[in-house]
Chains A and B, each alone.
Chain A
Amino acid sequence: GESVGLHLPTLSVQEGDNSIINCAYSNSASDYFIWYKQESGKGPQFIIDIRSNMDKRQGQRVTVLLNKTVKHLSLQIAATQPGDSAVYFCAEKAGANNLFFGTGTRLTVIP
């Protein structure tokens, strides 16, 4: 079956540093990927998405990189702020199938 996993379950960074959160996926048919941020006691919040025909997409302070060769996805957060502290999930989708969530990485920003 599908599996979407993360290399690092926890990540601590100093405020102002850049953060990189990684995600591995196994379904080569996945063609759409999303990063979500979930704060404690809240639902997931969309951060950025990328289709499989792209290898990089940038947003405000965030960049998603997709390496289909090794089935790897990463989320880069520039100048990490205390408000970025949360759990980050990657999710994948293959065609019309449902979203499948990875296990999550807890990001802690140290002031």
Chain B
Amino acid sequence: GAVVSQHPSRVICKSGTSVKIECRSLDFQATTMFWYRQFPKQSLMLMATSNEGSKATYEQGVEKDKFLINHASLTLSTLTVTSAHPEDSSFYICSARPGTGGRSGHEQYFGPGTRLTVT
């Protein structure tokens, strides 16, 4: 089946530094990738949608200059949290939508998530 990986799975960084999270679709091409943020005991909140080769579309309230998204290829999207602060500590999850196929064409395949802790 379709597999999406994320790297790293966990990262601890100091306040003020930047952190890059990678999202890869391993066995399919993803024309669209999504980045979500999840706080403890809460639901997934969509941060942005990225299409390969174009600028990401950010949800209302998400700072595009703070959360830089690059969808450089059909199998890789990166999220960079710039000048991270403790309030950015969260679980970041990506998902990828196949260009074709999938069970229904609507489906997104989710990565395992990245736990970011900013100290």
Contacts and interface: CB of A to CB of B under 8 A. Distances in A.
Nearest to A95: B106
Say what secondary structure dominates the interface of chain A: strand
Contact of A45 (B6, B34, B44, B110): B110
Given A49-B103, A101-B43, A41 B110 contact: no
B113 interface: yes
Q: Select the residue from A43, A45, A51, A89 with max chain B CB neighbours within 10 A.
A: A43
Nearest to A90: B43
Interface string A78-107: 000000000001000100001111111000
A89 B43 contact: yes
B93 A32 contact: no
Interface residues of B, number: 23
Interface in B66-119: 91, 93, 95, 103-104, 106-113, 115
Interface in A31-51: 32, 34, 36, 41-46, 49, 51
8 contacts: A32-B106, A36-B110, A41-B115, A46-B107, A49-B103, A98-B46, A99-B46, A103-B43
Nearest to A34: B107
Contacts of A89: 43-44
A81 B93 CA distance: 27
Given A98-B34, A98-B49, A44 B44 contact: yes
B42 interface: yes
A18 to B, nearest CB: 25
B107 A49 contact: yes
A99 B108 contact: yes
A88 to B, nearest CB: 11
A93 B106 contact: yes
